[in-house]
Amino acid sequence: MSTDLPGGSAAGHEHAVRGVLFAFAAFAAFSFSDASVKLVHGALPPYESAFFGAVFALLVLPLLRKPGEPWHDILATNNRLLWTVRFLGYPMGVAGSVIAFTHLTMAEAFTLIFLQPIFVTLMSVAFLGERIFWPRKLAVLLGFIGVLVVLRPGLRPLSIGHFGAALAGLGGAIQVVSFRASGPTEKRLPLFGAGILGALLLCGLASIPVFRLPTGKELLYLSSYGLLAAAANMLLMRAARDAPAAQIGPTQYSQMIWAILIGYVVFGDVVDTPTIIGMVLIVASGLITLLRERKVGTTLPPPVGRPSAAASSLMEDTPDLPAAS
């Protein structure tokens, strides 16, 4: 996405501020979306909830499709292996996030899912041959210490929710690394659509043996989960038209505030001191990574918490959207 904003410096500043505000609104919507799936309380299998989320994610595809581009291009790719990685990585991340928010407090789930930038760093070294220097090494170390503080291994039992949070962060990192490896020649529709298609098919197939129709209340929560996530995607794409990705990236950490507020008000969660300390360390780790990648011109990763097609459009020019008034 270009960082050149039209209309001179004053108008450019106004555009950037508006873009950042759109981004804050997007991450608020993402947070309430996650709270909605938590309200299901695990009454449905996580892959069934992920399937319903993918159904609503289809609302974003028309914004990623270029005019006249055939829909079957979602299957076309320059690299079938990377397309398959995205096809598998997206449903893994989404199902993991559903498990995390079902079994953990909002704050703890977000804290662990925010390990995604660390996974991205490690996988970029392993698979893309990137070199890391002391700022990113410091970020990895801070993130690792933050995880130890939050989890306190040996002092309290770990649960499937912790595994789900790690899976969500890993799934998001797989998406990011595959986006980078695909390069600029891959079309947007298969680049982002592969993951949505994977969630529809794989989570849908996994749901068949134990599928049951959601109750009215569950369907309401699932609709809120999917619609809010779709709205957040669209808000984030709108934000990317007005502000550079480097300014939008840090706004994702506002989700930590929403996690604490929603967790306390809706679910009665109380965040203990070690979790807050770990949260601060992991956020610091993520911010160091973002600032470092901005400095060296590396593609910024999309927001964490759920692999997001629209969020990933921060890497490229966004589709044409109606101009804000």
Q: In this predicted model, what pLDDT tens digit does every residue of 169-191 receive, in sequence order?
A: 999 889 888 888 887 888 888 98
What digits encode the pLDDT tens for the residues 235-282? 888 888 888 777 787 888 899 999 999 999 999 998 889 999 999 998
pLDDT the model gives residue 11: 64
User: What is the three-state SS of the chain?
Assistant: CCCCCCCHHHHHHHHHHHHHHHHHHHHHHHHHHHHHHHCCCCCCCHHHHHHHHHHHHHHHHHHHCCCCCCHHHHHCCCCHHHHHHHHHHHHHHHHHHHHHHHHCCHHHHHHHHCCHHHHHHHHHHHHHCCCCCHHHHHHHHHHHHHHHHHHCECCECCCHHHHHHHHHHHHHHHHHHHHHHHCCCCCHHHHHHHHHHHHHHHHHHHHHHHCCCCCHHHHHHHHHHHHHHHHHHHHHHHHHHHCCHHHHHHHHHHHHHHHHHHHHHHHCCCCCHHHHHHHHHHHHHHHHHHHHHHHHCCCCCCCCCCCCHHHHHHHCCCCCCCCCC
Q: Is the Cβ–Cβ distance between 244 and 1 less than 8 Å?
A: yes
CA angle 228, 275, 30 (to 5 degrees): 10
Mean pLDDT, the chain, as a whole number? 84
Side-chain-facing half-sphere of 202: CA atoms under 13 Å: 19
pLDDT the model gives residue 183: 79
Cβ burial 33-46 (10 Å sphere, 16+ → b, else e): bbbbbbbbebebbb
* Locus of tokens 């039209």: 6
pLDDT the model gives residue 293: 62
Per cent of the chain over pLDDT 90 is 45
* Lowest-confidence pick of 216-230, 276-290, 310-324: 310-324
CA angle 51, 311, 291 (to 5 degrees): 135
pLDDT the model gives residue 230: 87
pLDDT the model gives residue 317: 44
Confidence band for 4, pLDDT divided at 50, 70 and 90: very low
* Model confidence at 301: pLDDT above 50: no
Q: Is the Cβ–Cβ distance between 202 and 95 less than 8 Å?
A: no
What digits encode the pLDDT tens for the residues 104-146? 999 999 988 888 888 888 888 888 888 877 887 888 899 889 9
Which residue from 151, 44, 144, 28 is spatially nearest to 95, judged by alpha carbons?
44
pLDDT the model gives residue 313: 45
- Positive or negative, the CA dihedral 294, 298, 300, 304 is negative
pLDDT the model gives residue 1: 41
* Model confidence at 222: pLDDT above 70: yes
Q: How far is CA 10 from the centre of its chain?
A: 32
* Lowest-confidence pick of 79-83, 264-268, 317-321: 317-321
Confidence band for 295, pLDDT divided at 50, 70 and 90: low
pLDDT the model gives residue 306: 54
* Model confidence at 309: pLDDT above 60: no
Q: Is the Cβ–Cβ distance between 290 and 246 less than 8 Å?
A: yes
